[in-house]
Structure formats: C-alpha cells, structure tokens
Amino acid sequence: MNEWDADVARLREQVAALHDELVRYNLVAWTAGNVSARVPGRDLMVIKPSGVSYDDLTPDVMVVCDLDGVVVSGDLAPSSDTAAHAYVYRAMPDVGGVVHTHSGYATAWAAVGEAIPCHLTAQADEFGGEIPVGPFALIGGDDIGKGVVATLAGHRSPAVLMRNHGVFTIGADARAAVKAAVMCEDVARTMYLARTLGRPVPIEGADVDALYDRYQNVYGQPGSTATTAV
C-alpha cells in the first residue's frame, strides 16, 4: 500500500466513525449532515456519500473527491454539500476537516438569523466570541462554501450558522470540526434556555480573550490539543 492509499484508508475509517458522533450527540436526522476530511499533502478530500443511512456508513462507502468536487474514488455519489466543502478547503488551506449539521437549537438560531452572543465561558473557550450568522445560499453549488469562508474571515469561531439552513464547522482535522459542531449545539441550547429565564449577562471582551487563550494554549494534558478531543 503506498502513502496515498494509506492516508485515504485511514481517513475513510476516521470519517465513517465520526458520523457516529453526529448521531450520538443528536446533531442529525435521517440522512442529513456530513463530515469530510482533507487528505494531507493532496488536493483531495474524503466525504460521506449522499442519502445513505448512517447505519450503512462504513469506510468502504466513503467517497474521495478532488477539491473541485470531482469523484476520484468511490462507487457512490458524494454528499450534496461536496461543492461547499471543496470551496472551504480551496480557500482555507489550514482547514483539515469540515462538518455540516442541522442540529436543532443551533439551527433555530440560524432560522431567526441571529448570531449567538458570548455569555458563556464554554463559548469563549471554544469559539472566542460570538458564533456568527452567514448568508442564505442554495444547496448544490459552492455558494454555501463562499458564505462560510466570508463569514469566518476575521472570526475566531470555527462555527457559522448559515441562515435558514444549519451549522457548518471547520477544524484542523475532521475530529476538531466535529467537536466544534457538538459544542455549537451545546452553546445554542444553553443560550436558548438562558433567554427564556431572562436577560443573559455578557462577558467582558478582555475576559473572553483570556478564556480563549487559556483553553487553546493551556487546557488539557501536556502534548495534547484541547480542540481535538470530543
């Protein structure tokens, strides 16, 4: 097995397994949602096939595409969001993983077109401030990807709420992007509950910065990266 084959085989296994996390954390319904991973050193990505049950998402059905969304390896059609993922990878070379969900609470914020303001230490840790809202875009082309990239430019947040659609997250690898999706839904739910109780208390900007820096650079065990652990 050459290096390309080994990388693809490893990522097919990882991407298939990470879809189980979307189900475990109740971030998806039916066949909606997707995870992809960039193949290191190659203009390729591994992504979920379109319309396949989560129970049937094994490594061998994952699809390999180039960064124009053209299938390179795989017997099934790739996700309907492939063009969006591909655009993100082309525009953001440091991104190694992309996730899309319609998780309930976060998508409710997307439906009303409202960013999630930073009133929680957990949100400051993971997102470094608000979770922003991106523009409405139709599914199938790369307009969603363009909206994700444009919205996250200048933001520390690895998550964006695409208006009237759902959540897109990015990460250094696919696992980090899944973690961001899990945390986005957790924050969205907590902030919804806080709004029902009254007026949430904001966190000062300097404190948000301090919390973000500590979590990103100090939290966790030596040699580990906090953002890559679900």
What are the pLDDT digits (tens) for 95-117?
999 999 999 999 999 999 999 99
The first and second tokens of residue 116, run together, are 């999630």
The first and second tokens of residue 20, run together, are 């189980």
What's the N-to-C CA distance of the chain in angstroms?
Answer: 30
Spacing of C-alpha 136 from chain mean position = 17
Q: Over the stretch 34-62, which tens digit does the pLDDT of each residue have?
A: 999 999 999 999 999 999 999 999 999 99
Q: What is the pLDDT of residue 59?
A: 98
What is the distance between the alpha carbons of residues 126 and 136, in angstroms, rounded to a whole number? Answer: 25
CA pseudo-torsion sign 215, 219, 223, 224? negative
* Residue numbers in the chain where pLDDT is lower than 50: 226-230
What is the distance between the alpha carbons of residues 86 and 159, in angstroms, rounded to a whole number? Answer: 17
- Domain formed by 3-228, architecture: 3-Layer(aba) Sandwich (3.40)
Question: In the chain, which ranges are continuous DSSP H helix?
Answer: 3-24, 82-91, 104-111, 121-127, 143-152, 174-197, 205-217
Q: What is the pLDDT of residue 214?
A: 97
The vertex-153 CA angle with 151 and 157, nearest 5°, equals 75
What is the distance between the alpha carbons of residues 57 and 14, in angstroms, rounded to a whole number? Answer: 11
pTM of the predicted model as reported, rounded to 2 decimal places: 0.95
